Amino acid sequence: MHMKSMKKSTAKTCSHAAPPRCAGRVTPEADLTWLLHRAAHRMRAAMEEQVEKHDIQLRDYLVLTALGGEAQTTQLALGQAMGLDKTTMTSLLDRLEQEGLVVRCSVPHDRRARIPQATDAGRALQAKVANALARVESELLAAFSAAEQHSLRSMLCHIIRTGEGSDTHISGSCV
């Protein structure tokens, strides 16, 4: 093979079927950890920008979303589910309570435990922000078909669930 044709063949754009290697190293475009990190960073930045327009932080929105379910959970369990330590969760809930977005109720059988609940104002704000974030997500994923978006979600859920022993619940840190 001529040197000219060898150079031409190595200058092709990378194929994601097999990780391109440069002197034995995987390029960033083929490193799944790098790609997931950058995609998460891009999505988080776009989401934070939108959330801040509503005068809250992304963590606030995530807490309000977590409190939107039917099941009531203690403040400690909520912190564990979100990957936040007790002190961080307490100060976050203190602030949300001061803003009238959350109330904390005592647990009759355990005076130390508290159950946070979103107020009507908290639920309304969460819904408003959720709609704004849905638009941002739609813009970020516009290049993908509905089937591709579904596949992406399914694959990410599968990665998250791997090793957790649960097919129905995705847990772990979200902040």
- Amino acid 99 reads E
Query: How much is the pLDDT for 31?
Result: 87
**Cα radius of gyration (the chain):** 22
Taking each helix axis as running N to C, give the angle between helix 120-140 and helix 32-52, from 0 to 180 degrees, rounded to the nearest 10: 130
167 secondary structure, DSSP code: S
Matching residue, tokens 């709609």: 131
Grouping H, G, I as helix, E, B as strand and the rest as coil, residue 114 is strand
d(CA 40, CA 57): 17
Beta carbons of 32 and 39 less than 8 angstroms apart? no
For 137, counting Cβ atoms within 10 Å of its Cβ (0-12 exposed, 13-18 middle, 19+ buried), the class is: middle
pLDDT digits (tens), the chain, 175 positions: 444 444 443 333 344 455 555 556 767 777 889 999 999 999 999 999 999 999 999 999 999 999 987 678 899 999 998 999 999 999 999 999 999 999 999 888 887 889 999 999 999 999 999 999 999 999 999 999 999 999 999 999 998 887 655 544 444 545 5
Name the token pair of 6.
């060898």
Query: How much is the pLDDT for 161?
Result: 82
Whether this model's pTM surpasses 0.75:
no
Pairing mode, strands 102-107 and 25-26: unpaired
Query: How much is the pLDDT for 22?
Result: 52
Name the token pair of 66.
């977590």
112 secondary structure, DSSP code: E
